[in-house]
Chains A and B, each alone.
Chain A
Amino acid sequence: MSTRLAKGGRLIDRSAALDFTFNGKRMKGFAGDTLGAALLANDQMLVGRSFKYHRPRGIVAAGPEEPNALVNLGSGARLEPNQRVTITELFDGLEATSQNHWPSLEFDVGVVNNYAARFLPAGFYYKTFIHPRPFWKHVFEPVIRQSAGLGKAPKDRDADRYEQAYAFCDLLVVGGGIAGLQAALVAGRAGARVLLLEQAAHWGGRAPVDGDVIDGKPAGEWVDEAVAALEGMENVTLRARCMAAGVYDHGYVLADEKVADHTPGDGRPKHRLWRIRAGKILTATGAIERPLSFAGNDIPGVMLAASVRDYVVNWAVSPGDRTVVVTNNDDGYRTAIALREAGLAVPAIVDARSAPAGALVEKARALGLRIEAGRGIAKVKGGKRVTSVAICLQAGEGAVIDEIACDAVAMSGGWSPVVHLWSHCGGKLTWDRVQACFRPDPGRAPLNHDGGAMVYAAGASNGEMTAAAALADATEQAGAVLAALGMKPKRAKAPVAEAVAEGPMEAVWIMPQGASVELKSKMWLDYQNDVKVSDVQLAAREGYESVEHTKRYTTLGMATDQGKLSNINGLAVLAGALNADIPQVGTTTFRPPYVPVTLGALAGEARGEIFQPLRRTPMHDWHERNGAYFEPVGLWRRPYCFPRAGETHEQAVHREVVNTRERLGLLDASTLGKIIVKGPDAGRFLDMLYTGVMSTLPVGKCRYGLMCNEQGFLSDDGVVARIDEETWLCHTTSGGADRIHAWMEDWLQCEWWDWQVFTANVTEQYAQVAVVGPNARKVLEKLGGMDVSKEALPFMTWADGTLGGFPCRVYRISFSGELSYEIAVPASHGAAFWEALHAAGAEFGAMPYGTEALHIMRAEKGFIMIGDETDGTVIPQDLNLDWAISKKKADYLGKRGQARNFLASADRWKLVGFETLDGSVIPDGSYVVAPGVNANGQGNTQGRVTSTYYSPTLKKGIAMGLLLRGPSRMGEVVEFNTVTGGTVKARVVDPVFYDKDGEKQNV
């Protein structure tokens, strides 16, 4: 059984006991525990079920590489699935439940898959479930989906918040072990701005656990001094609990800081996502121990050797009373020694090497430990917990020599440098034959924007596995980074770690090497996804020879640990099966994040109403107070209508239309784009930009204009006002202001850069109100301050002045067909001016109206709307807007595009009006059908509706649309399709339904 030892535990505070529950069972731990350590201390080795076969799973590791021990953490709005117990700091009241089983962890029905495992090899689903066809969707897939997945899906909105922050540094050091600390010391002393990140809550990494000695002191003391020295440097920032998740191009690094994971609900953000821009990046991310592939290596109680050591030394937790150590390298002996020194039994060290030698081996011998050299594990016995191991010759086929009773197995297959961050942006690796691992190839580092190396590696992550070598490497690499940054290291005595004479490791990919296929089908490579040695060999046999094919065919390395434990072992097995060299087979691609990152942290504080930037007009508060129903227009919020108590939106819209046509409507038109174009060449420029001529527009007048893209397609429209000799004000659509302003600047800066023109987007500097209806003039006259008479201010003119004391610019333009003034006031006056209009207008029947009433009124009048009549494929000529296109101009943007034969064709769909024969409203989006079908069997079409409304003014359905050679077909009856298969008959009519002669607007 696993239990808490009476003494020791460098990270725990025995005076601070904490209560927590696992599957509802009350348990106790100490401050400083991880959930993993605390579970083991409570003899909870079984913590979950595997993905495919639902086999029992125990804790394997002590860090983020853990593939098995994933739990649902918390509940309700704080439920977090797939939380790794090995990196979850224990807190009082923590609730955890195990995953992927039914009805319980101990008795899981899904384990039936395990008994059928022989019938479910890698890729079995590609070969079956093919017939009968409907069964995949209705039977097989639902069963597969239900048995897959891991944690519970949360049901509630996240109760926590997340924040994001930026950091900049000359050097980012990732990893707070001795290599990272030393590199930071060197760079910090040289004056570089250094940011040092450590994913765990404590500093020092492995060295203090491994009993290393630096400068004659225990490593832990050296670490404390180093941290203190760094904390004393103003140019150095240290950040623990902060995991560097990904390296992106040009020195951009994403790091996830766990701010309040261990203090949930204390009001602080749960995580803080750091976006770091680093001059250089140095990874000191250590190495991850590899499992060994022997039969039964997935039974709970089989753990990584160094992790066993971590539990004993850091948390005073014994994973088992009797632990067999199995290794192919000297480091495994450290675990045996640590266990023995903690008073625990180590019945045997099974060493695959025939003649292990080295200081640690000697020390183990001196402690009287039994060393079985040249041996391997034939099989681990046990179900939900290890009960014994059978020993065999490593060189043989697995004949059992001896069986040793034990309740834990500590395995070490060698170490793999953590090269993830090195690789994210294309850093290449080289195969180290001596240590059997991939390590960074310094000649092929990922490149920075300047073509220099962006990432450096030091210590174990650079393949320098011993403390002595790692420290020396850190000093050297920090020097190299400083040189690249144009800085010099200060002269300082480099710390030296005592060298321990270790014998060479020996690569062992299958144990025993000649194992039968039966044994190999019990050797797990990927514990979570249930990928075994036999699966990889099957993939190779079937021609899935690329490492990517094998990964995808078997799902090796696709689990939540992304192959941290399984990838190298898997590709070594693949290389063996293909009789190829490991480096020839290569690795799969390393992708961010290094450890999975909570999505909420990636989204940050952009949630709810502000998940995107929010634009509000100066009158927004009034709209809210008066019950506006808003619609999004770009990032703006605009009132769609102002429903009154008991009114539907439709009723409100109709009331607003009628009131505006009969009395007085007020529209908040502030979102309308307003761009000033000014300079000696401004007229010439606008003549290129618009299809019409703007240079001849007299000062004081307004003109409607169309803009096209270079393809010739209509992109925006609006009224242009000539302000003075050199100044024009261009109105754009609400959604188009920023786009059109950028478009102007593009041409001015990149094509006609010798033209003297300035532009300014002043959209937000003005609030704008459309005062519309037969009473429009009356309310303005009541406010007083300027002459708004027909004579002083005729249609399509503008004037500056004051109204009711507000400074304003009044445009006589109309988008509704009514007598209409659009009045711009400085934005800060907008709300007051709006209220003044309502107050003065009350006696004239003033009512606000929204965007939908605006749309209906413009449709009644036959005015086009960008985005309705246009969709990016429509040219002005299609909309019969030839009058707004200058025939005289040699050039304007889009002119050449419109000359292409398909656009210049006489057979275009062109704008007309439609009236249904029965007065009904043509369905939105409907097409005009044509006889027959095309070569692909699709029903032919000859047009479509672009705007279709019930007109409250005319009390019938009205529509505009595009129809093949439409204007020549007036009076013809055509048929629109409906989604249910019927048609609606409509007559082709003039698109102007209301006040064709303009008698209403020109008063």
Chain B
Amino acid sequence: MLLLECPYCGVKAEETELSPGYEAHLKRYGPGSTDEEFEAYMFARKNPKGVHFERWRHTYGCGKWFLAARCTATLEVFGTYPAQVGEPPAEIIEKIKARRPDWKGYK
């Protein structure tokens, strides 16, 4: 039963208040993209056993989407941040590196 802090309203929200949304920082490929680009965007999602960046919506709270950095093997949460960014904020990256020295990094 995950506990994630909503970066908008500050509530430590429990999983039942949240809706999961899978991989974060996806780049959308629309008309004009190649079949390979579109397939990668739609289906070839990151599925790491370890540090993962993902989307959550505080559905039964403030209604906002936010992003979380979480370990899929231990469920440790490194941090949450607003969805309106292109890639993870530096301080989250720092925090993950501090906790997981052998992490290969985002991308």
Contacts and interface: CB of A to CB of B under 8 A. Distances in A.
B93 interface: no
Nearest to B99: A451
B33 to A, nearest CB: 6
Given A451-B99, A745-B63, A891-B31, A896 B1 contact: no
Given A451-B99, A742-B19, A891 B30 contact: yes
A23 B50 CA distance: 56
B29 interface: yes
A626 B90 CA distance: 63
Interface stretch (A633-641, A749-757, A946-954): A749-757
Contact of B77 (A251, A449, A750, A891): A449
B6 interface: no
A277 B65 contact: no
Given A447-B76, A450-B77, A750-B65, A249 B2 contact: yes
A890 B75 contact: no
A248 B2 CA distance: 9
A750 B83 contact: yes
B75 A895 contact: no
A895 B2 CA distance: 36
B81 interface: no
A249 B15 CA distance: 10
Given A896-B33, A900-B38, A250 B84 contact: no
A448 B2 CA distance: 10
A897 interface: yes
A876 to B, nearest CB: 16
A505 B42 CA distance: 62
Contacts of A426: 74
A896 B65 contact: no
Contacts of B74: 426, 447, 451
A375 B20 CA distance: 62
Interface residues of B, number: 30
A968 B83 CA distance: 48
Interface in A698-717: 710-711
Contact of B65 (A248, A745, A899): A745
Interface string A875-918: 00000000000000011000111011000000000000000000
A751 B40 CA distance: 17
Size category of the A interface is: 20 to 34
A451 B33 contact: no
A711 B21 contact: no
A972 interface: no
Contacts of A448: 76
B95 to A, nearest CB: 10
Given A450-B77, A895-B30, A897-B42, A746 B21 contact: yes
Contacts of A249: 1-2, 75
B42 to A, nearest CB: 6
Nearest to A448: B76
B1 A447 contact: no
A690 interface: no
Given A249-B75, A251-B3, A753 B19 contact: no
B63 A277 contact: no
A328 B78 CA distance: 49
Contacts of B35: 900
A248 B74 CA distance: 12
A728 interface: no
Nearest to B75: A249
A250 B71 CA distance: 13
A248 B64 contact: no
Contacts of B65: 745-746, 749-750
Interface in B32-62: 32-33, 35, 38, 42, 55, 57, 59
Interface string B9-29: 000001000010100000011
Contacts, number: 70
B1 A248 contact: yes
B31 A896 contact: yes
A704 B105 CA distance: 47
Nearest to A275: B1
B81 to A, nearest CB: 13
Contacts of A711: 42
Interface string A805-836: 00000000000000000000000000000000
Given A447-B75, A447-B76, A895-B31, A250 B1 contact: yes
A448 B38 CA distance: 37
Contacts of A753: 83-84
Contacts of B32: 896
B57 A746 contact: yes
Contact of B42 (A710, A742, A890, A895): A710
A447 B78 CA distance: 12
A899 B84 CA distance: 29
Contacts of A252: 1, 3, 14
Nearest to B76: A451
Nearest to A741: B63
Contact of B83 (A450, A710, A749, A895): A749
B38 A277 contact: no
A905 to B, nearest CB: 14
Nearest to A900: B35
B48 to A, nearest CB: 17
A277 B2 CA distance: 11
Contact of B75 (A250, A746, A750, A900): A250
A753 to B, nearest CB: 4
Contacts of B2: 249-250, 449
Contacts of A277: 3, 14
A790 B65 CA distance: 45
Nearest to B19: A742
A753 B8 CA distance: 15
A248 B3 CA distance: 11
Contacts of A447: 74-76
Given A447-B75, A449-B3, A449-B77, A751 B28 contact: yes
A897 B35 CA distance: 9
Nearest to B64: A749
A248 B77 CA distance: 15
Contacts of A746: 21, 57, 65
Given A249-B1, A711-B42, A750 B76 contact: no
Contacts of A251: 3
A895 B84 CA distance: 24
A449 B42 contact: no
Contacts of A750: 21, 55, 65, 83-84
Contacts of B77: 449-450
Contacts of A749: 64-65, 83-84
A615 to B, nearest CB: 16
Given A745-B63, A749-B83, A449 B31 contact: no
Given A710-B42, A750-B83, A449 B29 contact: no
A757 to B, nearest CB: 14
Nearest to B14: A277
Nearest to A425: B75
A449 B1 CA distance: 10
Contacts of B59: 742
Contacts of B30: 891, 895-896
A740 B76 CA distance: 32
Given A250-B3, A746-B65, A897-B38, A449 B76 contact: yes
A741 to B, nearest CB: 9
A707 to B, nearest CB: 16
A115 B84 CA distance: 73
17 contacts: A249-B1, A249-B75, A250-B3, A252-B1, A277-B14, A448-B76, A449-B4, A451-B76, A451-B78, A451-B99, A749-B83, A750-B21, A750-B84, A751-B28, A753-B84, A896-B31, A897-B38
Given A449-B75, A896-B30, A900-B38, 14 more contacts: A249-B1, A252-B1, A252-B14, A426-B74, A447-B76, A449-B2, A450-B76, A451-B99, A742-B57, A750-B65, A750-B83, A750-B84, A895-B31, A897-B38
Task: Enumerate the 3 nearest inter-chain pairs by beta-carbon distance, A residue then B residue, closest first.
Answer: A252-B1, A250-B3, A749-B65
